[in-house]
Chains A and B, each alone.
Chain A
Amino acid sequence: SQTIHQWPATLVQPVGSPLSLECTVEGTSNPNLYWYRQAAGRGLQLLFYSVGIGQISSEVPQNLSASRPQDRQFILSSKKLLLSDSGFYLCAWSPGVRGDQPQHFGDGTRLSIL
């Protein structure tokens, strides 16, 4: 069966520091991968999605970037964090071949910026 791993679970970072969040998927090949952010009490905001290695689409222009160095690895990065980057970051995957399948989420990373 497929599983998705996301780490770390919680992170406290000072303003201006860099960020690297990692997500890996097991048990499937060529998945679609997604990064979402959820502010407290708010809905899901799609940040990036990827349909293959090195293929990244950005939904929201900001100081975050994403990379997909391997088929089942998705990384969210920032060079300098802002206070507004606080939130719950979720990685998700869906089967790449069939477009009608649901997304499945990792456990998320709760990021607090001080």
Chain B
Amino acid sequence: QKEVEQNSGPLSVPEGAIASLNCTYSDRGSQSFFWYRQYSGKSPELIMSIYSNGDKEDGRFTAQLNKASQYVSLLIRDSQPSDSATYLCAVNARNYGQNFVFGPGTRLSVLP
């Protein structure tokens, strides 16, 4: 059974700090990895995709992937109160749409 695990949180960080969100997955054959942000009462929106080992940066966001350890993380630099949301990790095992698995999400709270 394909599983994606995340700490549920809440993770609280002060404004301006780095928020670090972690995700582990069980299917070693997983190929594609995604981070979504979901504000309360809204639908998830895609913020990062990563396919290769290493880091990928986009503005204040950095995704990190380590396939050997089956671990993907999201770093948010200079955290703002507007970053307060639930962050969902998603993994596409073997690149078939039906194998897209979401983690339960980590709730992030950025304190002013």
Contact = CB atoms under 8 A, between A and B. Distances in A.
Contacts, number: 55
Interface string A14-45: 00000000000000000010100000001110
B88 A107 contact: no
Interface in A41-61: 42-44, 46, 49, 51, 57
A7 interface: no
B88 A44 contact: yes
Contact of B104 (A42, A49, A103): A42
B97 A94 contact: yes
Contact of A106 (B34, B43, B97, B104): B43
A95 to B, nearest CB: 9
Interface stretch (B12-20, B45-53, B73-81): B45-53
Nearest to B96: A99
Interface string B23-61: 000000001101000000111111001010000000000
Given A99-B92, A100-B51, A100-B92, A49 B98 contact: yes
Contacts of B34: 102
A111 B98 CA distance: 25
Interface of A: 32, 34, 42-44, 46, 49, 51, 57, 90, 94, 96, 98-108, 110
Q: Report, nearest first, the 10 A-B pairs whose CB atoms are least far apart.
A: A99-B95, A32-B97, A43-B104, A105-B43, A100-B32, A44-B102, A108-B43, A100-B95, A102-B34, A102-B46
Interface of B: 31-32, 34, 41-46, 49, 51, 88, 90, 92, 94-98, 100, 102-105
